[in-house]
Chain A
């Protein structure tokens, strides 16, 4: 016996197998992203007051680039339209037109991912500097300085790790159990690490305007505008150069997941969504470039496949439609 209803719909349900399957799969995806959105709500509502990045609510506003996010939303919506047109072209029996629309869809998907990686990079090179007096500023560093600084930090960490290894080896020789050993310092992104105490250097930083993040609770914002150089009027959204003494710095962290819960959930959700975009794009691209053979042999089956993949694509689009206002605007 052959498996029935792989292409033709079953009369009483009116659906072919894959369509039932994809709707069920999407139901589980709704639960997956639903859980993440619920977590977002719970974390935001439960964020303690007086907490970085936003002291009043414990949750930040305006840390993401809204114009770029809006543009990316448009890109994704455009791809959702063209995926339907690709399917309609197949229904009309026009493979060439299908291929055109599908390639456009895939291009949109990869543009989305490209723009997203640009945004990610923007965050990875954006820093919050917490001073020993309790104030904090955000902004960018000169690349050369940062490179040198990271090298120095690496050297310092390696030196420390050599010491730690010696201590651990000694402890182990004395018969201490593994869990009593000291953890090594990791070389992940620069974050929350203590600055060198004895440094006499200072560094140029392009400080954001406004730069009103405060840390820890109850500390004052830095009046950035007053430090603008050459009497130049500093516009909100712009930058102003500022000299920072390393000895005053308590810690420095990029806008990465470990820096704040907002970034943690932002990166987790958008990265998971990005993986869905990538997966969808690969499948749609496969149909565009390798669908010809099936089109000649079983056109209806290819059309069904495109329909099912299109449903997935709409879902991926829909997740973004929720994600954009939630993390960028609210």
Chain B
């Protein structure tokens, strides 16, 4: 497709001539806002999605404040919430049930669709993938730009939905029908409508991104960059892109149908004879609420692997680099991630054991769910064994990568009881589930993201991030993450429901018999969450101060890495490579016996 975009006839060696030809320099808008350069787009994604990550975290903090002290005003922001969102949402600064539901739904939506996936896929994928395969850019640069703009627009729509009458979506990030259709009958254009519009934008963005990534990896690999010479990170992005490409459209279809349900009053997901507030709903009926769940989870389970595979890719790069030895079992890593990619499409209904879809269907999905744990364990085992006998450098990215392994391990293993039909029926909808998937995504994926940021920061900016601040950030985060999520396993095993806006006080008062100790854990968790927020300040300061004041790198390859992303100028110019890279060997040739140094870059001619 078109490559000579705003840059008129692009000059052949952009890097060498860029400074000499100042009249070719694009202006601010073309350089930073409407850029088609994959690195600029990657950074756009990174900054936007980090902001959303922080925002999603703040929503959670407000919810935690409510859970610890139900009925008390939210500290610091309570009255601001009241004046912005109205008395219905935060009367006298106290979080009302509706506001808790809004924050809960939007925390999930923002974290998954606007923070984690865009960082992993949009930011790291965009910035690193073309560099690692030796490509000058993505295959379709303008499409890439469009992906970011659609993502940005989707984010704006989601944020705007907080401020419309009736508030943002409040039916959970899963938006189950009929709840999502009937919970705000007063407003025709309500939070759920905007949620669906926002999702359609985000999905379109992801689809265009996925097409772009797969094409880039298939078509733009440098000479000699055979499939089995690709860094594992690229494989992880490749599988992720396929998951997004094929799993997202069914949710888009479901989103369109729910939108039609909400706006044109159809009954795709509304059964016959639905009674709301004592009155039969005036709709034609005959729809199926289960249909929504099937379409939703057909996306949302593969989405789980979208959240974890790129993080595994980042961790693999960091581990290989800092153990100074090749990854153990590179090929098994590749085949395991391909198996995950395939199996991810046939496990979705293990989220639906409780719906009464039937034991035979449950048995099928239980079996496939157990099968998919095998490749996940293969990946984790290979990464653990990769540590064996390495002379490990304990820098900040490595610490995060190392912590990823046991944290993901806890998250993954605690998922097994949820994969079994029998035990899931007890644990379903309890805090155990929250603890399980947050162990995967928060100390798992987010640690992978931090590892990646500390690792590639010198390539993108030419400066290191501060190691001391980084280590404080790491230790604080590791401890707090565990203090937050480990107690939730205990709460869940005691049967505490995950959906109560007062943190279970109603339960306690009703004499159901929830242990007061279990309830008091809420306060403990909230303090830990606030502490986690405090330790993130070290990261935020480090991130921005290091951009201008960090220690300068002295070479283009400061970590002595082997992959092609480090064989470019720092930061890489438009077009990436000054000479055409040719891959001569595999991606992890560390400590090759007989070599002068302990790393042999992929393109180094010996």
Question: Which positions in A face B, CB cutoff 8 Å?
Answer: 1-6, 10, 13, 15-18, 20-21, 24-25, 27-29, 31-36, 39, 42-43, 46-48, 51-52, 58, 177-179, 181-183, 186, 188, 191-192, 256-261, 263-265, 268, 272, 305
Contact = CB atoms under 8 A, between A and B. Distances in A.
B139 A261 contact: no
Contacts of B140: 17-18, 21
Nearest to B138: A3
A178 B260 contact: no
B427 interface: no
Contacts of B575: 1-2
Contact of B284 (A5, A16, A188, A260): A260
A183 B264 contact: no
B413 interface: no
Contact of B260 (A1, A3, A18, A257): A257
Interface stretch (B102-110, B249-257, B450-458, B559-567): B249-257
A272 B272 contact: no
Nearest to A294: B2
B292 to A, nearest CB: 9
B254 A35 contact: yes
Given A35-B254, A188-B264, 18 more contacts: A3-B135, A5-B219, A16-B219, A20-B218, A24-B210, A24-B214, A28-B245, A31-B246, A32-B250, A48-B272, A178-B86, A179-B98, A257-B265, A257-B266, A258-B266, A264-B260, A264-B266, A268-B268
A28 to B, nearest CB: 5
Contacts of A52: 284
A25 B211 contact: yes
9 contacts: A1-B136, A21-B140, A34-B249, A35-B253, A42-B294, A178-B86, A178-B186, A182-B186, A261-B266
Given A20-B219, A28-B248, A6 B1 contact: yes
Contacts of A181: 186
A258 B272 contact: no
B75 to A, nearest CB: 24
Measured as residues with beta carbon below 8 angstroms from the partner, the interface class of chain B is 35 or more
B286 A3 contact: no
A33 B267 CA distance: 19
Interface in B163-210: 165-166, 184-186, 188, 207, 210
A48 B215 CA distance: 45
Contacts of A179: 88, 98, 166, 184, 186
A266 B330 CA distance: 49
B275 interface: no
A10 B219 contact: yes
Contact of A43 (B184, B264, B287): B287
Interface centre among A35, A58, A305 (most CB of B within 10 A): A35
B58 interface: no
Contacts of B250: 31-32, 34-35
B249 A32 contact: yes
B291 interface: yes
Contacts of B220: 3-5, 17
Interface string B264-286: 11111000100000000011111
A261 B286 contact: yes
A3 B3 contact: yes
A2 B136 contact: yes
Given A2-B3, A31-B250, A21 B286 contact: no
Interface in B212-228: 212, 214-215, 218-220
Nearest to A59: B286
Given A32-B253, A35-B295, A179-B88, A17 B1 contact: yes
A34 B252 CA distance: 11
Nearest to A4: B220
A208 to B, nearest CB: 19
Given A17-B139, A183-B185, A31 B219 contact: no
A178 B85 CA distance: 12
B288 interface: yes
B137 interface: yes
B219 A43 contact: no
Nearest to B270: A261
B267 A261 contact: yes
A277 to B, nearest CB: 17
Given A2-B3, A32-B250, A183-B186, A265 B219 contact: no
A35 B203 CA distance: 15
Interface string B438-471: 0000000000000000000000000000000000
Nearest to A42: B291
B27 interface: no
Contact of A17 (B88, B219, B247, B577): B219
A178 B165 contact: yes
B165 A58 contact: no
Contacts of A272: 256
Which 6 A-B pairs rank lowest in CB-CB distance, beginning with the nearest?
A1-B136, A35-B250, A32-B249, A264-B266, A35-B253, A31-B249
